[in-house]
Amino acid sequence: MVYCTTCGTQITSGSFCTNCGTAAAPAPSVAPAYAQAKPTNTLAIVALVTSLLGISLAGIICGHISLGQIKRTQEQGYGMALAGLIIGYVSTAFVLVAIIGFFSLFAFHGGYIYG
């Protein structure tokens, strides 16, 4: 059924309203159906959060596990898992360099820091 957009009269034949002469409006279209989004992998979120909080070993472990789950289940969260891994590895590298630097300071000064 098509109705006139001006006067609301039902248009039975043709493309113009017999009452007021306005062109007929097309029938309203149905909204397209959208596929439901896939859920985000929980371990990817955990990997990112723990890496940002400084618990880098947990972030690295959860990141690797979540990447495997994402590959298998096609869930969302690949970027979060990857960011958790990168942040975890970089912070671990900084901690290791700081520890090596601290102990090399002792070795260079013969165990005395101040002198």
First CA to last CA distance, the chain: 96
Question: Which residues does 15 contact at the CB level (< 8 Å), separation at least 6?
Answer: 23, 24
Residue 91: pLDDT band (50, 70, 90) is very high
97: domain range?
42-108
Residue 113 lies in a domain: no
Query: Domain count of the chain?
Result: 2
Q: Residue 4: pLDDT above 90? A: no
H or E stretch at 34? none
Residue 85 lies in a domain: yes
Residue 36 lies in a domain: no
CA separation for the pair 89, 83 (Å, rounded): 10
- Say yes or no: 54 and 19 in one domain: no
Q: Residue 74: pLDDT above 60? A: yes
**For 27-36, 66-75, 106-115, which range has the lowest pLDDT when averaged over its residues?**
106-115
pLDDT at 114 (0 to 100) = 61
CA separation for the pair 81, 86 (Å, rounded): 9
